[in-house]
Amino acid sequence: PTTTPSKPVVNITHSTSNTYRDATVRMYTPAFATDPVISYMMSHLPQMSFPTARPHVFHLALMAASLNDAIYVEASTASTPSFQCAAVMMPPGKSPTTGLRSMTPRVVWKLVRERGLITLGKGLWKLGGLKFMTKGDEYPVLAKRAKKRVFAKGEKYWYVYFIATDEEHRGKGLASVLLEEVKAWAEKEGKAVWLEASNKDARVVYLKCGFKDVDTEEDLVLGKGEVGRDGLHGGKEGVQIWPMVWWPEGVKGAKKA
């Protein structure tokens, strides 16, 4: 007789702590090495500087997300949190970008307390300042267009800001298990889960997890006329992103009702 080996147990933990944020940055830095969107965000820099610039992309992005209550979710087959797969989740009604832009007394105090102003200044200097910020503004504008086709004004949803699996642990279904956890949170609240796939392989994974493509009038493309599909110079097609949404069974958004 033969037996089928049992699948390893996947443990999921989550936290809003800086410890979880920093561990997520460390995993994302190599995991997104060839991601088209991240490459596009750095495309104004010499390509040889990408490895040293990439950590600053995530330090800035996740610092901004933390200012608006981001939750860091990790999935691992190890008995302790190992960040084999990690997602950055924005709770309903929270945006990953408004924290830094608002610069309220609360935000400024939090940045001072956590030495975030140093991280902010160093990161922007390493990433080309205004050029990086301009590209950072381009992404949410595209995504907002797609969201208007799905959500009514003021309608709240969970947002998968980032999700990635460490290269050594891909193919184990960790992202699928993590997304099931997130979907369970959303289901309890009767909320949708929104994300954007930055490459075709990721889109396939999300489709298998029950997410649906959002019907847009035209493809959503970053950097058209500037970079190729890989986010690098050498092409002009630009980087396509695929907006996707998941609804709990029996739940209809305000625009579907």
Answer whether residue 168 is part of any domain: yes
Q: How much is the pLDDT for 109? A: 46
Q: How much is the pLDDT for 168? A: 97
Answer whether residue 256 is part of any domain: no
Which domain range does residue 121 map to? 11-246
Answer whether residue 255 is part of any domain: no
Answer whether residue 251 is part of any domain: no
- Integer angstrom CA distances of residue 136 from 61, 117, 131, 202, 220: 9, 18, 9, 21, 15
Number of domains in the chain: 1
Taking only the tens place, the pLDDT of each residue in 84-116 is 999 999 999 999 876 555 455 555 545 555 555
Answer whether residue 160 is part of any domain: yes
Taking only the tens place, the pLDDT of each residue in 167-181 is 999 999 999 999 999
Answer whether residue 2 is part of any domain: no
Answer whether residue 4 is part of any domain: no
Taking only the tens place, the pLDDT of each residue in 36-51 is 999 999 999 999 999 9
Q: How much is the pLDDT for 207? A: 98
Answer whether residue 178 is part of any domain: yes
Question: Nearest CA to 212 among 146, 139, 257?
Answer: 146
Find the CATH number of the domain harbouring 72. 3.40.630.30
CB proximity list for 134: less than 8 A, separation 6 or greater? none
- The answer, yes or no, to whether residue 137 has pLDDT greater than 90, is no
CB atoms within 10 A of CB 226: 17
Chain mean pLDDT for the chain: 89
Confidence of residue 195 (pLDDT cuts 50, 70, 90): very high
Confidence of residue 202 (pLDDT cuts 50, 70, 90): very high
DSSP per residue, 100-140:
HHH--HHHHHHHHHTTHHHHHHHHHHHTTTHHHHHHHHHHH
